[in-house]
Every structure is written in structure tokens, then in C-alpha cells.
Amino acid sequence: MAERYERPYLDSSAFISWLKGEVVKGVARGDIVAHIPSQAEAGDFRIHTAAITLAEVHKLRSTPALANDQDERILSYFEHDFIIVIDVDRGIGELANKLCRQFGILPNDAIHLACALRAGCDVLLAWDDRFVKVQHPNIRLEKPQRLGQGRMLEPRQP
């Protein structure tokens, strides 16, 4: 486990947990994720995510859809300079296809992994138990954690 995030990639589940302040099985997921955007806003690093996240945040398989005002807030939040949105192109699609076969993961998860690899991220953060079990030689996949990031700021709501 790293002591801090250097070049994090957040998948849709991380953004949704933060936006909704999710608590699942006693774990305050939203609070755990909140320090990551705060650190990015403070200039400690930039957050990376795939363009498909803009659609996925509306509704994941296991969560209710966002309300219209939540959708608008998160979509405008993705416009900040400290968030890098990685386009999904043919190269990402072909790599995702390979990752699906190699690791037995779902297509959208493979797209997230391919985008994180292209961006050179050190870690991909997701709340999907099955996805974070993937062991890739070039990136860590794990659930978000509170790490020794130095300072904790109040999150600015997306």
C-alpha cells in the first residue's frame, strides 16, 4: 500500500460515493473518497478518469440514478483543470478488449483500466470488489483509502 496517491484514477463508483455521501455496510465511502478531490483542488495531483465516467456517474448497476441537479453538478465538476478526462478511442477499445480476455473483467471496467494505463496512473480506485482484485503489473487497483496526504480539506461539492 502506498503512503499517498501520486497520479490517481477514479472510476465512476468513487465519484458516485463521494457525490452521494454513500455509506455501505457501515463504511462511509463518500467520506473516504472526499479527500481525493480536496487534494486535487489544492494542487497536490490531478485526478484521471475516462470519458465514459461522465455517462456512468448517472447510474451504476447497483445504485439509483442521480437526480437532475446532482447530474448537473457532477458534469460541471468534471470541467475543472485538476480533472483529466481521457478520451475513449480505438486504441483504448482494443486494449480494453485484450484486458477483458486477460483478466475476465467487464467491458466498462476494462475501458477504465485501459484509460488509467494510457494516462500512466499509479493507482486505479474503485469500490468494485471483483475489479480491484485484478493484479496488473503496471498499476495498483484498490478501494479508495484515506492515506497520509498531508492535509484534509473540506470537499467542495461538485
Q: What's the CA angle centered on 106, arms 48 and 12, to 5 degrees?
A: 35
For residue 152, name the pLDDT band (cuts at 50, 70, 90): very low
DSSP-derived 3-state class of residue 88: coil
Q: Give me the pLDDT at residue 151, please.
A: 42
State what percent of residues in the chain have pLDDT above 70.
89
104-117 pLDDT, tens digit each: 999 999 999 999 99
In the predicted structure, residue 59 carries a pLDDT above the cut 70: no
Q: Catalogue all structural domains in the chain, each as residue range(s) with its CATH number.
A: 8-142 (3.40.50.1010)
Residues in the chain: 158
In the predicted structure, residue 66 carries a pLDDT above the cut 70: yes
The Cα–Cα gap between 52 and 108 comes to 8
The whole-number average pLDDT for the span 126-137 is 95
The cell for 78 is: 468534471
